[in-house]
Structure 1
C-alpha cells in the first residue's frame, strides 16, 4: 500500500528539483531553457562558453541554435524560500518556538491535571457528605418511621437530588477539563512531530494546532452549607404528628431574673421579657448584665441537642442566640463568637445579620415573627430557623465549647410605640411556678 509522502521526503524532493545539475547546489539566478530545464545563469553561461555553433542542454542534450534563456522568477522565489527555511537561524528560531509552545502546553496540561485531581477529591467529599447526611436523616426518622415514612422518603429524595446536582456540576467541569487535556495532548503530538522534522531541516512553517478550549472556573462546594440544611432538628419539624417522641423536643425555657439588665422587665411566669422605661430595682449579683440590655435563660446546656422558640413579633430590633457561661456581664462588648456569643440580630425592622466578626448580612424572604434556635453541643453547631416554616436562616458550624445559656437582648427601641416583649414559647403549655 502506498503511503503518503512525509514532510521530510517532500522537502527533500523539492530541494532536488531546485538544484542546478551543473553546480549541484540550489539555483542562483535560475534561468529556463527552451526545453524547460533550469540552471543557474552563471553555470549555463560558463557551460556554453567557448562552444562554437549550436549549444546543447546539459541534461537532455537538446540543441539550440541561439544562446537564449529566460529568467524564471517563480523558481527564483521558491529557491529563496527554501534557502531561508533551511538556514541555521531559521531552524534555531523554529526550534525555540516549538520548545516554548510545547512547554506552555505541558504547563497547561499540568494545571488541568491538578484541576482533575481537585474535582475528583471534591466529588469524594460530596459523596461522603451525602452519605453522612443520609445516615443522619435515617437515624432521626427511625423513632417515627411508621408514621413519618413519607416525610423521610421526601427528605432523602431531596438530598439525593441536591447531591446529584452538585456532582453534575463537578462532573461537567471534570469532562471539560479532560477534553481540554485531550486537545493539549493532540497539539503536543503535532508539536513533537514538528520537532523531529526540524532536525532534518525540512519544516517550512509552524504546524497548525487545534484551538484550545477555555475551561471555566471549577465550581465551589461548601460542605457546611450543603450539610446545614439537613443537620436540623428534623423530628421537631414534624412535631405536630408525634410531639411526645421528638428528640430533641422543645425546651421549656424561662428567663433568669438575676441575669436581667435593670431596664428589662420579666413577667411573673418568666416567659416574657420587655424593655422598661425606668430602671427596675435589683439586687446586686455577679450574674447580672449592667452595661448591655441583655438577659439569659435559667436553663444552661453543655451536652446533647436542644431546641427552643422565641416569639419576636414585629419588634424593630433585637439580638438572640446563645452565650457562654463565662461572658463578661459588666462591660459593653461586641456580640461575636470570639467574645462568647453566637447570635442573630435585627436592626431597622428588616436588616438581619449573623453575629460573626464582621457581621454577615442575611437576605431573608420574609420577616420571621417566631425564631427557632437549635443547639448541638457535641457537634458545636448553633442554627437559627424561621419557626413558621423551619427554613434555615443561618448556622454557626464552629460553635461553643462548655456550658452555654440561651441569650436574649430586646434592645432599647427608642420609639414612642409601646415596646413589644420577647416571648418564650412552650409546646404543649406547661405549668410554671413563680
Structure 2
C-alpha cells in the first residue's frame, strides 16, 4: 500500500513539473524562456525570439499565439516569470536531479530505519507486556499456593482443636449423663420402698421386703476453669509456634562448624555464637579450616530445595555473611565474589552496606540492620537477603551457586576503637507446645 501511494505521489509530482515546464516554454523556440517578455495580450516569449519574429513579420505585427496586434517596441520584461524559469531550469538539470535523487533516497532510507527501530521497540514492548503477564500469572499462582498451604495448616490446626474440644465435651457430658441416670434409678427404687413402707404402716402385719437401693456417689463439681483453660490460651501464638514444623522452607537450625573457624574466631559451647578475638584459639589442625581470612562456615550444607535462616549481627561495624561453595580456597586470601564461590552481603564502616558483586553494589538502607535473613533456593539458583525485622528484600543474586554450599560468616577483624561483636545464629525450633 505504501509503495503504491509513493508511486502515485511521484507520478503526480512528475505531471505537475511537466505542466509547469510547458507553461514556461516559449512558443517560438519551444524551449524554456530566456529573458521572458510579456506582450500586451499577456502571452510570453523569449526577448530574442519575439524580436526576430517582429523583424521578419509584416506590419501590423500580431501575436504568434492569439494574432492580436501589438507594438514591437512595447515589450515588457516579466521578472517573476524569469525567476520561475531559472528555478525550473535549475531543477531539471542533471546535477540537480541526481542530488535530489540522492537526498530523497537517503531520507527514505532514514525513514525506513527509523520505522524499523520504532517497530522493533513496539515488538519489544509487546514482548515485555506478555512477559510481565506471564511472570505475573506464575507469581500469582505461587503466592496462592503458598497461602493455600498456610490456610491448610491453620485449617488442620482448627479442625484438630475443635475435635479435641468436642471429644472432651462429650466425655464430660457422658459422665454427667451416667451419674444422672444412676441417681434417677436410685430415686425410683427409693420411691418404691417408701410406698411399701407406707402400706405396711396402715396394715401393721409384717415388715415389707424392700428393694436394694443402688449406692450413688456424690457427683464431683464441673471444673469450668480446668475445662476451659486450654481453649482460652493464646491460641494464635501457640498455633504460630506449631506452624514452624510445617513451613516449607522453615527456619533452618544452623550451628557453627568449629573445624572451619579461623584461629581468631571463638565459638560458643552451643555452637551458635561466633566472635573474633585477639587471642588465638587453639583449634586443632584441620583441612577445612580458614587460615588467612577470619571466616567460618555452618556445619549444615545444602544442595537442593529451599532453605532460610536468620543471623543476628547486633551493632558490629563490619561483617560478611551469605553462602559459600564447598570448594572455596580456605588457605588463601580471596575476594568475596560469585566468581570465587561466595554470594554475600557485607557491612563496612558501620553504615555502608554492600552486595558482594564485582564491582560491589552499594545498598541504600533506611536504618541499620540488626538481624539478617538469608534465603537460598538451590533449584532456582537464587540467594536473597532480607531485613529479618521487617522481611524487606535487601538484594538477590539471580545466578547463584551450583552443587553443595554452606552458610558463610565472617565477623571480620576488629580494631581498637570497637569492641568485638557477636554473630549469633537464631533458632526457631518447631517445639510442640504442651496443652
* Structures share fold, TM-score greater than 0.5: yes
1:43 pairs with one of 38, 43, 49: 49
2:106 pairs with one of 76, 100, 112: 100
Q: What SS does structure 1 have at the residue aligned with 2:49?
A: helix
Aligned pairs for 1:217-232 (under 5 A) are none
Partner of 2:137: 131
Partner of 1:196: none
Aligned pairs for 1:15-414 (under 5 A) are 15-49=21-55, 53-64=59-70, 67-145=73-151, 242-414=243-415
Shift in CA distance, 36/368, structure 1 to aligned 2, threshold 3 Å: same
Q: Deviations over 1:340-384 (max 9, x none)?
A: 222111111011112223322222222110011111122222211
Distance in 1 of aligned mates of 2:341 and 2:114:
47
Q: CA deviation at 1:262?
A: 1.9
Distance in 1 of aligned mates of 2:106 and 2:154:
65
Q: What SS does structure 1 have at the residue aligned with 2:85?
A: helix
Distance in 1 of aligned mates of 2:373 and 2:122:
41
Shift in CA distance, 148/127, structure 1 to aligned 2, threshold 3 Å: farther
Q: Deviations over 1:371-425 (max 9, x none)?
A: 1111112222221111000111111222222222211111121134432211111
More helix as a share of residues: 2
Q: CA deviation at 1:317?
A: 0.7
- Aligned pairs, how many? 339
Q: What SS does structure 2 have at the residue aligned with 1:245?
A: coil
Shift in CA distance, 60/389, structure 1 to aligned 2, threshold 3 Å: same
Distance in 1 of aligned mates of 2:78 and 2:94:
27
CA contact (8 A) 2:90 2:96 kept: yes
Q: What SS does structure 2 have at the residue aligned with 1:145?
A: helix
Shift in CA distance, 81/366, structure 1 to aligned 2, threshold 3 Å: same
Distance in 1 of aligned mates of 2:61 and 2:405:
116
Q: What SS does structure 2 have at the residue aligned with 1:56?
A: coil
Q: CA deviation at 1:65?
A: 6.4
Shift in CA distance, 62/274, structure 1 to aligned 2, threshold 3 Å: closer
CA contact (8 A) 1:141 1:148 kept: no
Q: CA deviation at 1:314?
A: 0.7
CA contact (8 A) 1:371 1:384 kept: yes
Q: What SS does structure 2 have at the residue aligned with 1:258?
A: helix
CA contact (8 A) 2:241 2:430 kept: no
Q: Deviations over 1:296-323 (max 9, x none)?
A: 2222222221111111011001111122
Distance in 1 of aligned mates of 2:66 and 2:150:
105
CA contact (8 A) 2:34 2:47 kept: yes
Partner of 1:228: none
Q: CA deviation at 1:140?
A: 1.6
Shift in CA distance, 11/380, structure 1 to aligned 2, threshold 3 Å: closer
CA contact (8 A) 1:53 1:65 kept: no
Shift in CA distance, 64/314, structure 1 to aligned 2, threshold 3 Å: closer
Q: CA deviation at 1:147?
A: 8.1
Indicate the larger mover: 409-418 or 269-278: 409-418
Distance in 2 of aligned mates of 1:323 and 1:148:
36
Distance in 1 of aligned mates of 2:242 and 2:77:
103
> How does the TM-score come out when normalised to structure 2?
0.70
CA contact (8 A) 2:39 2:70 kept: no
CA RMSD across the alignment: 2.8
Structure number, greater radius of gyration: 2
Shift in CA distance, 81/351, structure 1 to aligned 2, threshold 3 Å: same
Partner of 1:422: 423
Q: What SS does structure 2 have at the residue aligned with 1:49?
A: helix
